[in-house]
Amino acid sequence: MDIFFYIIIFIMGITFGSFYTLAVYRIPKGQDITHTHSYCPNCNHKLGILDLIPVLSYIFLGAKCRYCKQKIRPRYFILEIISGLFFVTMAYLLDFSIYTLDKIKILEFSFLILYFTFIIIMAGIDKEYKKINKPVLIYGVIISIIYIVYLYIIDKASIYRYIMYLALYFILFLIDTIYLKKNKKDCYTYLILITLIIMCIFTGEYITVGTIILTLLAISINTIIRKLKSTNKDKQNNNQINIGLYLSIFNIIQLIVVLTYLKLT
């Protein structure tokens, strides 16, 4: 019985994954993510239902567009699979099964999915454009505030923690309106700070600190390798590092490791 439940969760995951690829592609271009029809980025042909089945369409079309035969980049496929696996892993780690479906479990699972949606789209855009997208970040802030309200309702003891986060949001928001708007620029580091607060709220301080340490390590190693390999040509290219992408990867890995540890003990 449980296997069918997990298959449904997996299908849900790859469907979300398919939405993530669309969001990463469209949000930075300012395109609508809900209404406009999907189309092939190469030939602009409108895609039908059969072209849009997550994972399966990619396999059966042989990784090509049905109309212009342009190769589809495997990242769409990979992101869908990762999302499906993440949904199943989380359902398993949270003891989410057909027999334990209660209100709290469903809420916990939903919040994790909302958070994962934020992390994946933010990381995807950072990977492609080396930018933290502001509307995506605002989505993250809104769901984290809703999550704080939820946490407060089920656990009134940690109120100082929640107040601290709300105060931090308020301060950063002030900096944005007063200082950054005046200079009309998006400061990458500033947007990373907000991302870290969202991470703290959803995955806790402990995991977030671990995430920062691993990210710093990875960036250092990456920088050393790049220095060793770099030629003069590379130096002229944009050398900014995708901090948002690194943070997301390590955050999700740590979340899975910690939840696995908690389940085993």
Binding site for Zn ion (CB under 5 A): 40, 42-43, 65, 67-68, 70
| Cα 116 to Cα 122: distance, rounded to the nearest angstrom | 10
Write down the least CB distance from residue 68 to Zn ion, Å.
3
Residue 141 CA, chain-centre distance (Å), reads: 13
* Planar angle of CA 53, 19, 95, nearest 5 degrees: 90
Please give the structure tokens belonging to residue 172.
Answer: 């950063």
Q: Please tell me whether residue 64 adopts helix, strand or coil conformation.
A: strand
Q: Which is nearer to Zn ion, 5 or 39 (CB)?
A: 39
Shortest Cβ 66–Zn ion spacing (Å) = 7
User: Of 59 and 98, which CB lies nearer to Zn ion in the complex structure?
Assistant: 59
Closest separation between CB of residue 178 and Zn ion, Å?
47
Supply the minimum distance, in Å, between the C-beta of residue 80 and Zn ion: 19
- Using alpha carbons, list the distances in angstroms from residue 249 to 27, 56, 160, 175: 21, 25, 29, 28
- Nearest distance from residue 41's CB to Zn ion, in Å? 8
To the nearest 10 degrees (0 to 180), the angle between helices 134-154 and 188-229 is 120
Nearer to Zn ion, 43 or 50 (CB): 43
Kindly tell me which of 67 and 92 has the beta carbon lying closer to Zn ion.
67
Residue 142 in tokens: 């809104």
User: 25 or 67: whose CB is closer to Zn ion?
Assistant: 67
CA of 2: how far to CAs of 6, 7, 62, 106, 183, in Å? Answer: 6, 9, 32, 16, 55
